[in-house]
Amino acid sequence: MSSLLLRVSFGPIEDTNSLLGFACRSHIIERTQRRLKGVTFANKAVALSSAVVANPVISSEEKVYEVVLKQAALVKERNRDAKIALDLDSKPLENAEFSNGNLLNLAYDRCGEVCAEYAKTFYLGTRLMTEERRRAIWAIYVWCRRTDELVDGPNASYITPSALDRWEQRLNDVFQGRPFDMYDAALSDTVTRYPVDIQPFKDMIEGMRMDLRKSRYNNFDELYLYCYYVAGTVALMSVPVMGIAPESKVSTESIYNAALALGIANQLTNILRDVGEDARRGRVYLPQDELAKAGLSDEDIFSGQVTDKWRSFMKGQIKRARKFFDEAEEGVTQLDAASRWPVWSSLLLYRQILDAIEANDYNNFTKRAYVGKTKKLLSLPAAYGIALIGPQKLSKMVLG
Predicted pLDDT of residue 348: 86
Write out pLDDT tens, residues 247-290: 999 999 999 999 999 999 999 999 999 999 999 999 999 999 99
CB distance 324 to 371 below 8 Å:
no
**Per-residue confidence (pLDDT) for residue 371, from 0 to 100:** 86
Q: In whole angstroms, what is the distance from residue 97 CA to residue 177 CA?
A: 12
Residue of 253, 316, 261 lying closest to 286 (CA atoms): 316
Report d(CA 362, CA 307) in Å as an integer: 9
Q: Is the pLDDT of residue 229 over 50?
A: yes
| pLDDT given at position 190 | 97
Long-range CB contact pairs, 207-211, < 8 A, 24+: 207/233, 208/147, 208/148, 208/150, 208/151, 208/159, 208/164, 209/161, 209/164, 211/151, 211/152
What's the pLDDT at 46?
A: 39
Q: Are 190 and 180 in contact (CB under 8 A)?
A: no
pLDDT in tens, 27-78: 444 444 443 344 443 344 434 444 444 455 688 888 888 888 887 787 766 6
